[in-house]
């Protein structure tokens, strides 16, 4: 299940490939599913998070430490909505990414 326009995240890589994630060193246009209005964005060392005006959180990048918030350690090259916030009835208000962490300010 999930948004049909999103590509699935990769499973955690094997130990010999652990450092691999598609990293783009220059700005690029990004298509978010359903074209939501973005109200905030933050970048960690290898991951990115976006908050939309309607309170959804999308994350992508390197997920080795669970910093993407999808309940696993998978990395993802495409934005993926953090479903846990929706299931708990929470709306993301702001996001700040650290090197291997993601902090989200939420409203109930």
Entry pTM: 0.76
Q: List the domain range (segments joined by +) for residue 100.
A: 38-107
Q: Is residue 44 part of a domain?
A: yes
DSSP 17: G
**Number of folded domains in the chain?**
1
The DSSP call for residue 39 is E
How far, CA to CA in Å, does 8 sit from each of 32, 53, 63, 76, 99? 14, 24, 14, 7, 24
Which of 75, 28, 32 minimizes the C-alpha distance to 54?
32
For residue 96, being part of any structural domain is answered with yes
The model's pLDDT over 44-95, given as tens digits with 9 standing for 90+, comes to 989 999 999 999 999 999 999 999 999 999 998 889 999 999 999 999 999 9
Mean of the pLDDT values across residues 23-38? 74
Residue 33 lies in a domain: no
Is 13 part of a structural domain of the chain? no
pLDDT in tens, 5-24: 444 555 554 444 454 556 66
pLDDT at position 39? 94
């Amino acid at each position: 299940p999930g948004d049909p326009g999103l590509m699935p995240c990769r499973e955690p890589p094997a130990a010999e490939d652990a450092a691999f994630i598609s990293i783009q060193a220059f700005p690029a246009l990004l298509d978010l599913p359903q074209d939501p209005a973005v109200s905030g964005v933050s970048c960690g060392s290898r991951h990115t998070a976006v908050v939309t005006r309607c309170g959804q959180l999308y994350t992508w990048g390197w997920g080795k430490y669970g910093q993407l918030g999808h309940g696993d350690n998978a990395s993802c090259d495409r934005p993926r909505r953090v479903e846990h916030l929706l299931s708990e009835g929470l709306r993301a208000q702001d996001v700040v990414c650290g090197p291997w962490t993601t902090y989200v300010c939420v409203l109930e």
